[in-house]
Copies of this chain bind each other. A is one copy, B any other.
Amino acid sequence: MELSPLTEAFVMHFGEMGSRWGINRTVGQIYALLYISGRPLPADEIAQSLNFSRSNVSMGLKELQSWQLVRLQHLPGNRREHFTTPDDVWQIVRTLAEQRRAREVDPTLSVLRDLLVAQPRSEEDRQAQEKLREMHDLIELLVGWADDVSKLETKELVQLLKLGSKVVGLLELKSRLPLLGRGTRGAAPVEDHEQD
């Protein structure tokens, strides 16, 4: 139940970071411990390792399960419930993105849309709506990108990330090779369509 200094250092740092991202410290630590352990752990062991009460661990695990970041596992011949993180880091990133999207981004887009269709009651409101429109469009663009690249296989996604800004160069090339087709996601063509 004693953590090695290595594990402890990681767990502590992760807890600290978690608390800066709206995740409570102990939940972050539980997650970090599960991640670094790389094997299913029973709640009791987590409680002992981290010096939390059993009930706190139970709450933390419930929270993590609701985020789909941890899943329950029954080991054969063992009555105790064990918990694990998916072992692929990329899966973790995907889940995190999905969940944040569903919990925070989508509701925000929804609020923004509601406010954008409301009748402005003053010149002030009209200007405010312009700002909201900008924010709405930006978020929608980011979300669209995320949606689109999340469909890629991890290997392709890695390639895309490694390519980085080089894409822009390729884009120019593309415009000279019409055979590739022009259509892109939804109604938004890739080619410039705004004044320069």
A residues apposed to B, CB below 8 Å: 4-7, 9-10, 13, 17, 19-22, 35-38, 89-90, 93, 103-104, 108, 111-112, 114-115, 118, 120-122, 124-125, 127-132, 134-135, 138, 141-142, 144-145, 148-149, 151-152, 155-156, 158-171, 173-174, 177, 180, 184-185, 188, 190, 192
Contact = CB atoms under 8 A, between A and B. Distances in A.
Identical copies of this chain, number? 2
Contacts of A164: 144-145, 148-149, 184-185
Nearest to A21: B22
A10 B168 contact: no
A141 B158 contact: yes
Nearest to A148: B164
Contacts of A162: 141, 144-145, 184-185, 188, 190
Question: Which secondary structure characterizes the binding site on chain A?
Answer: helix
A10 B156 CA distance: 38
Contacts of A7: 124-125, 128
Contacts of A35: 131, 135
Given A36-B131, A145-B162, 14 more contacts: A6-B118, A9-B115, A10-B115, A19-B22, A21-B21, A38-B128, A38-B130, A145-B161, A148-B165, A151-B165, A159-B168, A162-B184, A163-B190, A170-B173
Contacts of A170: 167, 170-171, 173-174, 180
Contacts of A130: 38
Contacts of A152: 165, 168
